Structure 1
Amino acid sequence: MSPDSSPRSTTDPHDLGDGDDRPNVVLVVMDTARAKETVPAASRITPTLASLAAAGTEFTRAYTSSPWTLPSHASLFTGLYTAAHGAHGGHTYLDADHETVPAAFQSAGYETVGVSNNCWITGEFGFDRGFDRFRKGWQYIQSDVDTGAVVRASGVSERLTSFKDQLLAGNPAITLANVAYERYLCGDNGAARTTDWITEWLADRQHRRTDQPFFLFCNYIEPHIEYDPPREYAEQFLSPTAVDEALGLRQDPRAFDVGEYDLSERECELLRGLYRGELAYVDAQLGRLRDSIQKAGEWENTIFVVLGDHGENIGEYGFFGHQYNLHETVVHVPLVITGGPFQDGSQRDGFVQLLDLVPTLLETAGISAPELAMQAQGQSFHPRSATTPRDAVFAEHIQPQPAVDSLEARFGELPDRVRGFDRSLRSVRTEGATYIRGSDGSQWLYLAADGDEHHNRADQRPALAAQLDTRLDDWLGTVERDHTPETAVEMSASTEQRLADLGYL
């Protein structure tokens, strides 16, 4: 389909006739942003997100369907639960037989651009399909050689060895430029360069005088481990002395989870200060991105979506990071949409799932994508949608990453608690309770009336636990599909190192 050359406006697609007057769609992921600091959006930590919420619609009970990046993005792109799309710790790839949102917008005549700063969300793992252009945000010049292994090496000898290996693996000039950028010029994990590049791309669109609508996906990874925000953002939440102390703390989620070291509550609070600084910094980049879209003259006709792909534990429930559990801290995330029908400054407090964005965005943009619409397991929450509002949300952790045997290979003998992580988890959340079930027969029942998830009531309320267990089975029977047997991608050594640094290996 070729785009219409007539001027575009903010007309609601529900009111369109036969014309092609479609909005741009921008989908921004604040990687690892949890609801605890971001819902409702407040000016103290995320002033840009708060202003977007004031102008648009904030969904205060939005939930991801998985607690970590690969499966949560797979659900975001396909509208499928993990049991259906099959991308998880045992099959680390989004299979090509699934329809995706970028491909649907591309087929509808949109210019599709993706920028990712999380190496799970790259072509190596099947996430570049449907994009006209897809960029690794942490690289100055795009290359298959990831120079991060050089930058993160400890000691001169290790750094020189890594540098030699990477230099011989690709174009030496490009490798040198990327090493210099990542080690000496990049003050973050790619966010500023990502915003700069998108700004340049928008300016180029203006120069080309194109009326073609665009779909833009962007992942900012800064709130992810390791928390090291620019100092001016960290000092918004910690004193200068406390910042120094916080930056000196060990940040190794897997070592913490297996009990190799402990963090006191005070130390966890220091780390939370750094985490808030990361959120504030990404929020500033979000503001720059909005300003660039406005300067390009595209804002009035743009649906702008900001979300967290999953949350984080920073000492809560005895965990660090976002593996091995389905607590509220890792599945409740921010979701704000502005533009089109989402510009009344309202808060919607009903349940929504991130995978519901697939039918919602198709409906909002007026895109006909029958195969994707039929595939998607979510439901539209467009204001004019006829779907019945959700009364429950679901999440899965089919296979953790890293698996328990990988932990054993790294740390040796493991505590019984950690061996217990070798299971799948599924959960259902309703107005009154949260029920989590493990494949090993374990059960957790948390009552909303308790106000938190510290008191397992499964033994005290067996009838309610049984009722929600049945509901979980009924739901699983409607969404689970056969998919490729468990396999892991043969990832490059540099990708493997970068994922290890993020706590996944």
Structure 2
Amino acid sequence: MAAPPNIVLFVTDTTRVDDAYDDSVAPTLAALGDRGLRATNAFATAPWTLPSHASILTGTVPSKHGAHADHEFLDDALPTLPGLLSEAGYETQCVSNNTWLAAESGFERGFDDFHHMWQLLQSSTSLSELVDVTDEDRLHTVASTLFEGNPLVNTTNALYRLYRDHRGDDGAERTTRWIRDWVADRSAERPFFLLANYIEPHLDYRPPRRLAAAHLPEDIGYEEAIAVSQAPWGYLAGHVSMSDRDFRALRGLYRAEIAHIDEQIAAVRAALADAGELENTVFVVVADHGENLGDHGLMDHQYCLYDSLVHVPLVISGGAFEGWGDLHEFVSLADIVPTLLDAAGVEAPDARAGFQGRSIHPTADADPRAFVVSEYRGPVPSIDALEHHVGDLPASVYDLDRSLRAIRTAEYKLVRGSDGTTELYDVATDPDEQRDVAASNPRVVRRLERRLDDWLSAFDHADPDGSVAIGGQRKARLEQLGYLQ
């Protein structure tokens, strides 16, 4: 009997499918897709990190796992992929560069070790709030946080965080070095599951100059591009003006960040090969969500469920996935858990009974999806937080104070808001979702609403009590970053 394969789940945070699947940007990913499985219609269950990662690890949607804007924590009610693999004898490791994918958010469950790569010394005091805060805010934050836990460790981590930010490095190279050292030194007695989150394509975009030069428009230099404002909430509020040229510059920087990630994919695979582990490894590359760069009048990845945020890359290579080719049927990120359990030969029937995902493993016999659903359970940051931190808001911004659900078929996409609004896009002829055709297609709207309602009524919804491990002080600090309500 063949030994169970190692599994590497490489998450490239905030990565659009159109740029990721451009072989001039990501040649390593293109090569993996050419010889493995490349999903052309993979969709995130949510447009931001916390709920999307929770779906990736539980095989369920936000309404079921309960980790979203109203409850910023993954509770222990559902089994997780690392937990199930650990029970099956796997060594389980996580390296994270996104402060939402943290032990403080409930994601450490099932992992033997969980490494916060924004820390030089691992500590339960995250200091995640040091990301993208003004110098004045940082001084206040550090002063109020250093004495939580070990002051020496906290001081070291604070200085490291500020040093790393100054270098414009989001942790990619350090993370890859950590993986190389770990895989070279580990015992080969057990197979391993490694979740590695890389955050480079997330704002701010500050790629290495050599990569920026290769991906910026010919008429825009590096210094000009770096000087372009990267203030999504200021742009949303109308306080920051952005030209088409500005967005072309940002898109070039963003593509360079994806190219940087592509180099890390190659380096991690080289490390696995050097350690003699690659041949028996299933290697998954996926994005948790995409990004708006002026699309629909938005920046960053909030307030909507357009395909620019929820249509994501997903490539699987190794094992039974070799030679598969392009998979054009719908895939939800909730499908990752059952797919990888199949790859590992783990049955887990009780856990599978609760999954909303379906396996896309070549040996699976699940029926193709007729549709996918994405959810945005609440605005992040809240409109009140925007108003507090940004100032006066135009009236149109208050219309974004709602939750959203989207159901997408091959022909249409329906987006329904908690405020009673309904949008319909003919994605077969309007893939950029520029023309709302709900008014002229009432029968399609009714049909898709019935299908969405039937889907919603088919499972038990999480009912979090609101008490989460993220304390009020951290919540206030994360709100300063533009993440929390």
TM range (shorter): over 0.9
- Deviation, 1:501, is 3.7
- Partner residue, 1:26: 8
Give 3-state SS (helix, strand or coil) of 1:449's partner. Answer: coil
Question: Are 1:335 and 2:317 matched, yes or no?
Answer: no
Deviations along 1:440-468, whole A, 9 cap, x unmatched? 11111111223420100000111111111
- Deviation, 1:326, is 0.5
Give 3-state SS (helix, strand or coil) of 2:456's partner. Answer: helix
**1:322 partner amino acid:** H
Q: Is the 8 A contact 2:141 2:477 kept in 1?
A: no
Instruction: List, as ranges, runs of 4+ consecutive aligned residues in structure 1 with deviation greater than 6 Å.
Output: none
- Deviation, 1:260, is 2.3
Residue from 173, 177, 183 that aligns with 1:192? 173
Q: TM-score, normalised by structure 2?
A: 0.93
**2:376 partner amino acid:** H
Give 3-state SS (helix, strand or coil) of 1:93's partner. Answer: coil
Deviations along 1:409-435, whole A, 9 cap, x unmatched? 223443222111121111111111111
**2:22 partner amino acid:** A
Q: Is the 8 A contact 1:138 1:193 kept in 2?
A: no
Deviations along 1:206-257, whole A, 9 cap, x unmatched? xx4x320001001001111111111111111125953212211221222222
- Partner residue, 2:425: 446
Q: Distance in 1 between matches of 2:183 and 2:317?
A: 19
**2:245 partner amino acid:** R
Q: Distance in 2 between matches of 1:152 and 1:404?
A: 20
- Deviation, 1:197, is 0.8
- Partner residue, 2:89: 109
Higher mean displacement: 178-187 or 102-111: 178-187
Question: Are 1:134 and 2:121 matched, yes or no?
Answer: no
Residue from 320, 325, 339 that aligns with 2:304? 325
Q: TM-score, normalised by structure 1?
A: 0.90
Deviations along 1:458-489, whole A, 9 cap, x unmatched? 00111111111111111111134242134565
Change (3 A) 1:94 1:187: same
Deviations along 1:266-311, whole A, 9 cap, x unmatched? 1111111111111111111111111101111011110100000001
Deviations along 1:173-219, whole A, 9 cap, x unmatched? 434543454344655111111111111111111xx4x3200010010
Change (3 A) 1:36 1:152: closer
Higher mean displacement: 112-121 or 370-379: 370-379
Question: Are 1:275 and 2:254 matched, yes or no?
Answer: yes
- Partner residue, 2:197: 219
Q: Distance in 2 between matches of 1:149 and 1:374?
A: 38
Q: Distance in 2 between matches of 1:34 and 1:399?
A: 22
Change (3 A) 1:486 1:184: closer
Higher mean displacement: 121-130 or 132-141: 132-141
**2:442 partner amino acid:** P
Deviations along 1:140-197, whole A, 9 cap, x unmatched? 2212344566685645x76666555555445454345434543446551111111111
Change (3 A) 1:136 1:332: same
Change (3 A) 1:159 1:119: closer
Change (3 A) 1:225 1:37: same
Residue from 365, 373, 382 that aligns with 1:386? 365
Give 3-state SS (helix, strand or coil) of 2:50's partner. Answer: helix
Q: Which runs of 5+ in 2 are unaligned?
A: none
Question: Are 1:260 and 2:242 matched, yes or no?
Answer: no
Q: Is the 8 A contact 1:226 1:502 kept in 2?
A: no
- Partner residue, 1:287: 266
**2:284 partner amino acid:** V
Deviations along 1:73-119, whole A, 9 cap, x unmatched? 11111111111111110111111111100000011110000011111
Higher mean displacement: 160-169 or 468-477: 160-169
- Partner residue, 1:13: none
Deviations along 1:31-60, whole A, 9 cap, x unmatched? 00111211xx33311111112112211111
- Partner residue, 2:455: 475
Give 3-state SS (helix, strand or coil) of 1:336's partner. Answer: strand
Give 3-state SS (helix, strand or coil) of 2:328's partner. Answer: strand
Change (3 A) 1:496 1:58: farther
Residue from 303, 323, 336 that aligns with 1:357? 336
Q: Is the 8 A contact 2:69 2:484 kept in 1?
A: no
Change (3 A) 1:161 1:248: same
**1:123 partner amino acid:** A
Q: Distance in 1 between matches of 2:478 and 2:352?
A: 35
Question: Are 1:71 and 2:51 matched, yes or no?
Answer: yes
TM alignment of 1:404-415, pairs within 5 A: 404-415=383-394
Q: Which runs of 5+ in 1 are unaligned?
A: 1-18
Q: Distance in 2 between matches of 1:81 and 1:373?
A: 14
Higher mean displacement: 244-253 or 484-493: 484-493
- Partner residue, 1:12: none
Percent pairwise identity: 42
Q: Is the 8 A contact 1:153 1:162 kept in 2?
A: no
Q: Is the 8 A contact 1:391 1:430 kept in 2?
A: yes
**1:454 partner amino acid:** Q
Q: Is the 8 A contact 1:52 1:337 kept in 2?
A: yes
Q: Distance in 1 between matches of 2:55 and 2:307?
A: 18
Q: Is the 8 A contact 1:59 1:334 kept in 2?
A: yes
**1:121 partner amino acid:** L
Change (3 A) 1:264 1:145: same
Change (3 A) 1:363 1:158: closer
Higher mean displacement: 492-501 or 252-261: 492-501
Q: Is the 8 A contact 1:254 1:503 kept in 2?
A: no
- Partner residue, 1:5: none
Q: Distance in 2 between matches of 1:174 and 1:383?
A: 47
Change (3 A) 1:323 1:96: same
Q: Distance in 1 between matches of 2:133 and 2:316?
A: 40
